[in-house]
Amino acid sequence: DSGVTQTPKHLITATGQRVTLRCSPRSGDLSVYWYQQSLDQGLQFLIQYYNGEERAKGNILERFSAQQFPDLHSELNLSSLELGDSALYFCASSPRAGPVDEQFFGPGTRLTVL
């Protein structure tokens, strides 16, 4: 158990809908990272927040947005969902801002768009 929690574990929805994925980092970690992992694909970095502020951005679609709240939990919002958005979404946390620490990954949320 990494100490990172993600909810829900599974999500099935239809095209065009909007969903919110939630992540609670390890106690004491200030950074939260979001990754997308599609079938047979590697981990695609989406976005990082550090202590409530956006720190780094990857190839995140404009339909996707995220935020980190004062209690440090983070939410990833996916809107106007398309079939291609079906994937495993991981969040990870680490103590500091830069990627100089190990990242602790949550169990992931499997999103299926029908």
Phi/psi of residue 92, nearest 5 degrees: -135, 155
- What DSSP designation does 54 have? E
Question: Does residue 100 interact with another protein by CB under 8 A?
Answer: yes
Check: CB of residue 87 under 8 Å from CB of residue 36. yes
Q: Which residue bears the tokens 């695609």?
A: 44
Distance in Å, CB of 2 to another protein, minimum: 7
Question: Does residue 101 interact with another protein by CB under 8 A?
Answer: yes
Distance in Å, CB of 17 to another protein, minimum: 25
Which residues are at the interface with another protein (CB under 8 A)? 2, 33, 35, 41-45, 48, 55-58, 90, 92, 97-108
